[in-house]
Amino acid sequence: MIDLREWLDTVDGLGELHRVKAEVDWNEEMAAVSYLAASQEGAPALLFEKVKGYPAGRRVLFNAIGTSLSRIAVAMGMAPGQTAMAMIREARERLKRRIEPVEVAEGEAPVNQNILEGDRVDVTAFPAPKMWPLDGGRYIGTADVIITRNPDTGVLNMGTYRQMIQDSQHVGLYLSPGKDAKLHLQRAWQQGKPLEVAACWGIDPLLLIIGSQGFPKNLCEYEFAGGVKGEPLAVVKGRVTDLLFPAHAEVVAEGIIRPESVRSEGPFGEFTGYYGRPEAETPLMEVQAIHHRNDPILTSALMADYPACEQSLFFSIIRSARIWDDLDRMGIPGIQGVYVHPAAAGGFGMVTVSIEQRFAGHAQQVAALAAQCPGGAYYTKWIVVVDEDVDPSDTDQVIWAMATRCNPIDDIDILRNTWSTWLDPTQNPPEDRPYGSKALINACKEHKYQQIFSRRTTITRGMYQRARERWQELGLAGEPPEPRAFEDFQNLQNMQSVSRRLEEFSGM
């Protein structure tokens, strides 16, 4: 399994890594530079090599994935240069595999090059950024993974949750309702016990991709990370906890959250492009040991409006794959493609499913299930179903379908009181959160009138071939795009009978 450093070398080889050698301040400047750079699609990953007030070697990575499909491909062990839909298909296959992690000895784990315990623990020794002007503090964990153990079943969970520095030995841990670590914490506290935590603050981007997705609660995400890569993840046992964490991580903090221990945290500029809920109490982690590699790299994720929001594009790929898989596992036929739009609140807000309509009510069934399946239920507000001749990843085509095949009064349904988050800016007053709502938009040709629905203007396959062959002779650059639909003259009888009826009607 490659680690962050190998990933950086590969990405550097692709010309997609920019090393910032000049000194930059952790206090808003690093995040501001990242925001401006990443606001342009295709921006490189940014490695800040000299942070003000810190020795050289204490580095911070921003925009690791950003809007680059190639950087996602490298993280997931795929070939760079594929389209989003091709990557979604491949991600589905890779996520079906599960490979258990292997435990390595303490001395074999690069993360154990330095181990600090007791009084030597100081989280402020790492150049954690303060991101936005109104943030409540410095966030040391954003592109991170947090390891906890289910007190009932013993299953380990790896989830991405933010962490704000409270003081040199304490960090806050923000957990949304229903998230695995939150459930572990609630159960441990019910039992009057502390929860053990291992916070990994510098990681291989694959772990961020996997850790930020909801997987079945009885399975450990390490197995999915191994499955995606096709080899087991190396993990190592903690010094002060019974947890296993990635052996190749850059920085890992181990500690506990004591029963009912909370402290005020936030606000934080969020994936929605707004500050989240106002300052509130969140669980307080007491850091008891820190492990780090020599010259450690913190991995930071800027949360912002698109395209500067770090989670946008990889959420698009991986959530699309998860939702498609959920629909498949439920046995829903006719699914041609699923696409989560990266610009919709960090890829959380909108999903489009393309189907071949096979029966009455099929489109409505797909919309309702895509809205509520495990891979798609959290936050998603807009669920659009389109026919098979519409590429769900082509926003122009989806909008065209919504404008020509959807009649809002008949084709939009609303689900109320659904799974959402304290971070949704539309739910006010904030105390009313975290319930959400979802619009199911049927932008398919009406099933009932499919046969007589206005015929789409398309060219014949023969004419496409002819134009393709003559493309250069006609002086046109490149190659013509391949249309998703061709005129096949099927069901023309119906159309002709409709136009006859229309003629009769107009002659009356």
Ligand X SMILES: Cc1cc2nc3c(=O)[nH]c(=O)nc-3n(C[C@H](O)[C@H](O)[C@H](O)COP(=O)(O)O)c2cc1C
**Which residues would be at the binding site for ligand X (CB under 6 A)?**
142-143, 157, 159-162, 174-176, 179-181, 212-214, 301, 310-311
Shortest CB 271 distance to ligand X, Å: 7
Whether the CB-CB separation of 394 and 479 falls below 8 Å is answered with no
Q: Tell whether the torsion through CA atoms of 238, 244, 249 and 253 is positive or negative.
A: negative
The DSSP letter of residue 390 is S
- Measured from the CB atom, the residue of 311 and 442 that comes closer to ligand X is 311
Q: Counting Cβ atoms within 10 Å, is residue 503 exposed (0-12), middle (13-18) or buried (19+)?
A: exposed
- Measured from the CB atom, the residue of 98 and 484 that comes closer to ligand X is 98
Shortest CB 146 distance to ligand X, Å: 9
Shortest CB 213 distance to ligand X, Å: 5
Shortest CB 2 distance to ligand X, Å: 20
How far, CA to CA in Å, does 397 sit from each of 180, 323, 387, 388, 402? 37, 21, 11, 11, 9
Gyration radius of the chain over CA positions: 25
Shortest CB 43 distance to ligand X, Å: 17
Q: In 332-407, which ranges are E strands?
A: 335-340, 350-355, 382-387
| Sheet with 59-62, side-by-side order of all strands | 17-20, 45-48, 59-62, 297-299
- Measured from the CB atom, the residue of 427 and 442 that comes closer to ligand X is 427
Shortest CB 485 distance to ligand X, Å: 36
- Measured from the CB atom, the residue of 112 and 176 that comes closer to ligand X is 176
Shortest CB 472 distance to ligand X, Å: 45
- Measured from the CB atom, the residue of 92 and 319 that comes closer to ligand X is 319
- Measured from the CB atom, the residue of 181 and 366 that comes closer to ligand X is 181
Shortest CB 403 distance to ligand X, Å: 32
Shortest CB 373 distance to ligand X, Å: 14
Task: Please name every residue paired with 193 in a beta bridge, in sequence order, or none if there are none.
Answer: none
- Measured from the CB atom, the residue of 176 and 393 that comes closer to ligand X is 176
- Measured from the CB atom, the residue of 206 and 406 that comes closer to ligand X is 206
Q: 252-270 burial by CB neighbour count: b if 16+ within 10 A, else e?
A: bbbbbbbeebeeebbbbbb
Euclidean distance between the first and final Cα of the chain, in Å?
75
Tell me which residue of 385, 370, 390, 318 sits closest to 347, measured CA to CA: 318
- Measured from the CB atom, the residue of 10 and 272 that comes closer to ligand X is 272
Q: Omega of the bond prior to 434 within 30 degrees of 0, cis? A: yes
Token duo for residue 334: 């006719």
Shortest CB 235 distance to ligand X, Å: 16
Distance (Å, rounded) from C-alpha 427 to C-alpha 433? 6
* Residue at shortest CB range from ligand X: 159
Query: What secondary structure, in 3-state letters, does 23-64 show?
Result: CECCECHHHHHHHHHHCCCCCCEEEECCECCCCCCCEEEECC
- Given the DSSP bridges, would you call strands 156-159 and 195-202 parallel, antiparallel or unpaired? unpaired
Distance (Å, rounded) from C-alpha 103 to C-alpha 356? 46
Q: Which helix (H) or strand (E) element contains residue 323?
A: helix 312-329
- Measured from the CB atom, the residue of 336 and 419 that comes closer to ligand X is 419
